[in-house]
Amino acid sequence: MEIVWRWAMRAKYLLLLISCLSLQAHSAVPVNSYEQLIDMSCKAHDMTANVRLQLDAAKQRVENADLNKWMPEVTVGLDVYAAKGQPTSFFAVQEGAVQDPEQPNFYSKGEAWQGKVDMNWGLYEDGKWLGESALANSEAESQLSVAKSQLSTAHREALTLVSQYYFNIMMYSAQRDVLQPLVVKRQQQLDDMKTKVEAGVSTTDDLFTASAAYASLKDQLDDAVRQREVNYQFLLLMLQRDVELLNAQPQQSFKELAAITERRLQMNDLDRLVSAHPDITLLESKLALEKDKLDAQYGKLKPSLGLYVKLRTGDNFGNALRKDYSEIGLTIEYPLGAVASNYGESKALRKTVTAIDSELDYLRKIKRLQAANIAGDLASSKSKIEVARLELTRREQMLSSENERVENGLSGLDELVQAEDDKITAQLNLLAAYNQAWMQYAEASLFSNQICQSE
């Protein structure tokens, strides 16, 4: 009985230890600022895992192309014979003709075999010497550039979504903080109005007004709470880990949103920013590949120089005859008949190069304008914040005046509820203006490469 009790206690402690380790492993990571969240996102490669696999594959293709440009074409073969006839010499004469030394007819009756190895080096092909980057290298480099551009684009899109979800959470958390006490207040107003109606002091019209005011505000609060949770779940999905947003706690989110007014962004060297944009680098890689294709097409009209090596060995099992043969030489070829077909293909490639070059020039102008307007867009967003603040101040004054009119019997409940709703709308508009300014700041930071610079 004592042994069973000891084992039960050990199992209990073991389960407790496992539970503690499990909780520690799955505990939420505290995040107390936008910068900390972005730093975490920059290191979260799971967001761009698929694109990174494509990048790794492209790097491997480049390495293979660099190695293959030095390698010869090698062919290995084995011929097995069931030979008949009289044995002859290595350079046998058959009916007055010298036999091809590649097929030495030295076999007698019985079985024999011949092994062969052919190696060919293209010393000069398509206008390129051995070891120079040929079209295969250009295609591999282009695929690598495309993969890098796709990774940069995917990373920017992921960080944009992370920023959007984060500031949506801040905005809806602030809305919750604004609406919760007002919902409680209107619930109290509704209860008081019911009491007054029962006592005959107020009319049912005022009761309907109070009920509608409470229901409308309660619906806004429920929507804010729901939207906050939805954005939080999307954020966790992007990060692939659990996080605790400290600034999303009650009465903290407004400070995080309002901090945008203190942010400054320097946009220097617009040409460098434009040239580093993934859309530009992607099109540049396509243009470089088409130019290399055109150069290779021109190179096909040039003579080619090759080095070849042939190795032969044969053995006749029955007569114990063995013959070996080797040959090394150079080949020079000139494609006289390729001029006509090459002209049409070269013309098509020249048109493609011209089209991509024009598209690239237009895209550079577009990105340069976008870069120049980023600072203006951020300034405009901050101006909208100031406008929203002034509107909120005006609505607060109007609500104060309306309260005095109600106390003096000059206005009714309808006018008071409308003034309160106008103030609430102004508060929510201010939060939305903060959110929009933050997104402009995030977009500008991504465009100017001022976040995730190590990437």
pLDDT tens by residue, 97-137: 444 455 555 444 556 677 888 888 777 877 777 766 666 77
Based on the fold, state whether residues 314 and 249 are members of the same structural domain: no
Based on the fold, state whether residues 176 and 260 are members of the same structural domain: yes
pTM (2 decimals)?
0.69
What average pLDDT does the segment 137-159 reach?
80
For 418-443, the pLDDT digits (tens) are 888 889 999 999 999 999 999 988 88
In a domain, 22, yes or no: no
In a domain, 455, yes or no: no
Q: Which of 291, 316, 334 is where one domain is finished?
A: 334
Based on the fold, state whether residues 323 and 185 are members of the same structural domain: no
* Ranges assigned E (strand) in 214-369: 243-245, 304-316, 321-333
**317 or 329: which carries more pLDDT confidence?**
329
In a domain, 13, yes or no: no
In a domain, 232, yes or no: yes
Give the integer Cα–Cα distance in Å for 372 and 77: 65
Structural domain of 56: 27-69+133-300+340-447
Based on the fold, state whether residues 281 and 376 are members of the same structural domain: yes
As for how many domains the chain has, the answer is: 2
DSSP symbol at 108: -
Based on the fold, state whether residues 270 and 229 are members of the same structural domain: yes
For 177-219, the pLDDT digits (tens) are 999 999 998 888 888 778 877 777 666 777 888 888 889 899 9
Q: SS3 sequence, the chain?
A: CHHHHHHHHHHHHHHHHHHHHHHHHCCCEEECCHHHHHHHHHHCHHHHHHHHHHHHHHHHHHHHHHHHCCCCEEEEEEEEEEECCCCCCCCCEECCEECCCCCCCCCCCEEEEEEEEEEEEEEEECCEECCCCCHHHHHHHHHHHHHHHHHHHHHHHHHHHHHHHHHHHHHHHHHHHHHHHHHHHHHHHHHHHHHHHHHCCCCHHHHHHHHHHHHHHHHHHHHHHHHHHHHHHHHHHHHCCCEEEHHHCCCCHHHHHHHHHHCCCCCCCHHHHHHCCHHHHHHHHHHHHHHHHHHHHHHCCCCEEEEEEEEEEEEECCCCEEEEEEEEEEEEECCHHHHHHHHHHHHHHHHHHHHHHHHHHHHHHHHHHHHHHHHHHHHHHHHHHHHHHHHHHHHHHHHHHHHHHHHCCCCCHHHHHHHHHHHHHHHHHHHHHHHHHHHHHHHHHHHCCCCCCCC
Q: Which two tokens stand for residue 214?
A: 């409470």
Say what the pLDDT of residue 387 is.
Answer: 93
Q: Which of 284, 319, 334 is where one domain is finished?
A: 334
In a domain, 10, yes or no: no
Give the integer Cα–Cα distance in Å for 224 and 432: 12
Based on the fold, state whether residues 143 and 56 are members of the same structural domain: yes
What average pLDDT does the segment 230-251 reach?
89
In a domain, 18, yes or no: no
Based on the fold, state whether residues 325 and 347 are members of the same structural domain: no
What average pLDDT does the segment 282-289 reach?
87
Based on the fold, state whether residues 52 and 113 are members of the same structural domain: no
Q: Hey, what amino acid is at 210?
A: A
Q: Which of 292, 314, 334 is where one domain is finished?
A: 334
Q: What is the CATH number of the domain that holds 210?
A: 1.20.1600.10
Based on the fold, state whether residues 417 and 432 are members of the same structural domain: yes
Asked if residue 142 lies in contact with residue 288, where contact means CB atoms within 8 angstroms, the answer is yes
Based on the fold, state whether residues 157 and 127 are members of the same structural domain: no
In a domain, 229, yes or no: yes
In a domain, 15, yes or no: no
What average pLDDT does the segment 288-299 reach?
83
Based on the fold, state whether residues 50 and 100 are members of the same structural domain: no
Based on the fold, state whether residues 118 and 237 are members of the same structural domain: no
